[in-house]
Amino acid sequence: MTHNGISRYTMEIATALLTGAIGMAICYGAWQVGTGWTPSGPDSGYFPFWIGILIVAGSLVNLLRTVIGHRHKDETFLDAARLRSLARFTLPIIGFAIVSLLLGLYVGTTLYVLFAMRLQGHYAWWKSLASGIAISICFYLLFELVFQVPLLKGPLEHAFGIY
């Protein structure tokens, strides 16, 4: 951590650890289904296992290059201001995912567009809400009526008898 936000050094290490962890999970999953070479060619887990090993190895190199080489120590990954605008963008998206799970995509979309426009664009409440509802209705017309692909619906739609 530097004074004004997150340093790239930290993030390089974190990312290397993340990819390394994925690699290990893949090795474990591959090991569960067999990693050998049978008479009729490689087993189900043969390729995934070695892929996992390569991911771990690559991540290790990335980690060591960063730590030993002291690379990117002074570079800033995100300063406070950028972090704030990034948070304003990503937090509503995570909220969108959660609300959609509970209340369906239409309610999720309406609320998400409402808050995203408020937080990022500082539009008036009524404008944001109107846009949110308008977009939901567009989705409904397009997907449910024109293409007949149902989107995820929640209790609110069911209360109106829309399934």
Partner 1 sequence: MNNLSLLMDGFATILTWNHLMIMVIGVMLGMLVGVLPGLGAPNGVSLLLPLTFTMDPVSAIILLSCMYWGALFGGSTTSILFNIPGEPSSVATTFDGYPMARNGEATRALTLAFMSAGLGALAGVVMITLLANWVAQFGLKFSSPEYFAVYFLAFCSFIGMSSSAPSKTLVSMMLGLAFATVGMDSVSGGLRLTFGIPDLVKGISFLVAVMGLFGIAELMVTTEEGLSFNGIKSRIRIKDILRTMAELPRYWVSLVRSILIGIWMGITPAGPTAASFMSHGLAKRFSRHPERFGKGEPNGIVSPEAADHSAGTSALLPMLALGVPGSATAAVMMGGLMIWGLTPGPMLFVTRPDFVWGLIASMYLGNVVAVILVLATVPLYASILRVPFAIIGPVIVAVIFTGVYQVANSTFDFWLLLFFALLGYLFKKLDYPVAPLVLTMVLGHRAEEAFRQSMVMSDGSLTVFWSNSLVTTIMGLGVLMLVWPLISKLVGLRGWRQRLHRQKPQTHEPSTPDSRH
Partner 2 sequence: MYTLKPLCTHQLRPLALFFAALTVSGSALAWQPDRPVEFVVTSGAGGGTDTFARTVQSIIGKHQLMDESIIVSNKGGGSGAEGYVYSASSKDDPYKLTFGTNNEYLLPEVGDMPYAADDLQPVAAMAMDEFLIWVNGDADYASAKEFIDAAKQNPGKMQFAGSQSKDTDQTLVSMIEEATGTEFRYVPFNGGSQALVQLAGGHVDANVNNPNENLGQWQAGMIKPLCVFSPEQLPKGEPVHEGKGWGDIPTCQSQGIDIAEYRMPRTVWLPAGASEEAVTYYQDLLKKVSETPEWKDYVTRTVQTSQFLSGDELKQYIDDNASTVKKVFEQEGWSAS
**Closest CB 1 distance from partner 1, rounded Å:** 16
Q: Which stretch binds partner 2 (CB under 8 A): 51-59, 72-80, 108-116, 142-150?
A: 142-150
142 near partner 2 (CB under 8 A): no
Phi, psi dihedrals of residue 69, rounded to the nearest 5°: -80, -5
148 near partner 2 (CB under 8 A): yes
Task: Please give the Cα distance from 114 to 131 (Å, whole number).
Answer: 7
Q: Which stretch binds partner 2 (CB under 8 A): 23-31, 46-54, 116-124, 143-151?
A: 143-151
Q: Which does 158 bind (CB under 5 to 8 A by kind): partner 2, partner 1, none?
A: partner 2
Residue 146, judged by CB atoms within 10 A of its CB (0-12, 13-18, 19+), counts as: exposed
Q: Could you tell me the CA-to-CA distances from 148 to 85, 136, 142, 145, 163 in Å, in that order?
A: 37, 15, 8, 5, 12
163 near partner 2 (CB under 8 A): yes
**Closest CB 49 distance from partner 2, rounded Å:** 19
Q: Which does 58 bind (CB under 5 to 8 A by kind): partner 2, partner 1, none?
A: partner 1
146 near partner 2 (CB under 8 A): no
127 near partner 2 (CB under 8 A): no
Q: Could you tell me the CA-to-CA distances from 126 to 60, 105, 133, 136 in Å, in that order?
A: 52, 21, 10, 15
Q: Which of 29, 36, 121, 150 binds partner 2 (CB under 8 A)?
A: 150
Between residues 107 and 116, which has the closer beta carbon with respect to partner 2? 107
Q: Tell me the CA end-to-end span of the chain in Å, nearest whole number.
A: 50
Task: Please give the Cα distance from 90 to 86 (Å, whole number).
Answer: 6
- CA-derived radius of gyration, the chain: 23
**Closest CB 63 distance from partner 2, rounded Å:** 35
